[in-house]
Amino acid sequence: PLPSGRDAYRTLEDYNADMAALADQHPDLVERFALPHPSLDGKQIYGVEIGKDVTGPDRGLPTFLMLGVHHAREWPSGEHAMEFAVDLVRNYGTDARITDLVDRSRVVVVPVVNVDGFAKSRTDGGLIDLREADRGGTATILGTPGSAYMRKNCRLVDGQDTPDGSCALAATSNGGYGAGVDLNRNYGGYWGGPGASDLFADPTYRGASAFSEPETQNIRELVSGRHVTTLITNHTFSNLVLRPNGAAPDLVPSSEGVPLGDPYDEAALKALGDAMAAQNGYTSQHAWELYDTTGSTEDWSYNATGGFGYTFEIGAHEFHPPFLEVVDEYLGAGEYAGKGNREAYLLALENAVDPTTHSVLTG
């Protein structure tokens, strides 16, 4: 079973309650915090911080940051993030490896970045299938039109906040794509470049400006206020470990003295990506080999801070498959026999704490 024992997808309320309970039960080890900017619908967005004497100063310890649900319909991405938090807490003090890693770091988990979109998708979701629309075709309505497959946030009109209750419109108009900003095109990493749209109705709409959305502002401030040495931003699906950059080398503008091409840290980024993929059985590749993007989370964080960042695309089949698949992919069981994302995440945490502890620098 999963560390939490759950056998069904959490709602937003479940996430918030689970984070509060984890902190209540382990006050020296877990602190729940609200991110600085509420969502457009006025919801608080929460995360947990895990570390020894967590309510005290962080002493400049390296931070491992784990994110989920930038995209509303990608429910497993929050489940794996939350389960990893529970896993660390449950094993702290008994598992020597986990205890050592937690003692030497701060682990910050924000399981649901896009709370408005997720709440809409998870709770009010109907049966609209937008997978065809993702490929440039027309969305297929399988049953009652709904929002289970919405992707973006609840920004209704470009540049204006969402009026009360209007996420329903954001979710359903134009098959779920008619409103909203794609949060994974709204960061400052080459914002406005290829692989993102300037058209409001498009699935990859980049927003009115870089960091125009409260959700991306939250992550910018989180990363800027800490020493985030490694981050994983979870998405679904395709069983991929993606590393910077998001746009092909010939599309990325050259900065002074820096030639076009791979990031400076390509060898080490690849080594850790490959090591994680060896654990979860995913394919490790440059993000741009999937398709070009600009304004994504780790393109910004890596280029702004030098901290390593990866996108995990969890799952072989669906944006939110039957829950058993989520369980198997975390644990490395069933169809996903291997060690699963649990072990991949632990490698990332090891790298966050000290990149010399495994093969990244030592070969």
279 lies in the binding site for ligand 0X9 (CB under 6 A): no
The SS3 of residue 59 is coil
311 lies in the binding site for ligand 0X9 (CB under 6 A): yes
184 lies in the binding site for ligand 0X9 (CB under 6 A): yes
Pairing of strands 283-286, 240-243: parallel
Of the pair 86, 247, the CB lying nearest ligand 0X9 is at 247
Of the pair 9, 33, the CB lying nearest ligand 0X9 is at 9
- Residue 342 is which amino acid? R
Phi, psi dihedral angles at 240 (to 5 degrees): -125, 145
**Number of residues in the chain:** 363
- Residue 165 is which amino acid? G
Report the nearest approach of ligand 0X9 to the CB of residue 33 (Å): 25
* Residues sharing a CB contact under 8 Å with residue 219, sequence separation 6 or more, in sequence order: 67, 110, 113, 187, 297
284 lies in the binding site for ligand 0X9 (CB under 6 A): no
Q: Is residue 96 classed exposed, middle or buried when 0-12, 13-18 and 19+ CB atoms within 10 A define those classes?
A: exposed
303 lies in the binding site for ligand 0X9 (CB under 6 A): no
Contact of residue 172 among Zn ion, ligand 0X9, none (CB under 5-8 Å per partner type): none
213 lies in the binding site for ligand 0X9 (CB under 6 A): no
The sign of the torsion formed by the CA atoms of 189, 194, 199, 204 equals negative
235 lies in the binding site for ligand 0X9 (CB under 6 A): yes
Instruction: Tell me how far apart the alpha carbons of residues 270 and 255 are, in angstroms, rounded to a whole number.
Output: 22
Catalytic residue list contains 325: no
Single residue of 65, 139, 156, 242 touching ligand 0X9 by CB under 6 A: 242
71 lies in the binding site for Zn ion (CB under 5 A): yes
Of the pair 116, 313, the CB lying nearest ligand 0X9 is at 313
Per-position DSSP letters for 280-315, written without gaps between them: H--EEEEGGGT---SS-HHHHHHHHH--EEEEEEE-
Contact of residue 278 among ligand 0X9, Zn ion, none (CB under 5-8 Å per partner type): none
* Residue of 79, 215, 313, 325 with catalytic role: 313
CB crowding 227-257: b at 16 or more within 10 Å, else e = ebbbbbbbbbbebbbbbbbbbbeebbeeeee
Phi, psi dihedral angles at 303 (to 5 degrees): -70, -25
Report the nearest approach of ligand 0X9 to the CB of residue 312 (Å): 10
Site map 222..261 versus Zn ion, x via CB under 5 A: -------------x--------------------------
Which positions lie near ligand 0X9, rule CB under 6 A? 71, 74, 184, 235, 242, 246, 287, 290, 293, 296, 298-299, 311, 313
Active-site residues, by number, are 313
Which positions lie near Zn ion, rule CB under 5 A? 71, 74, 235
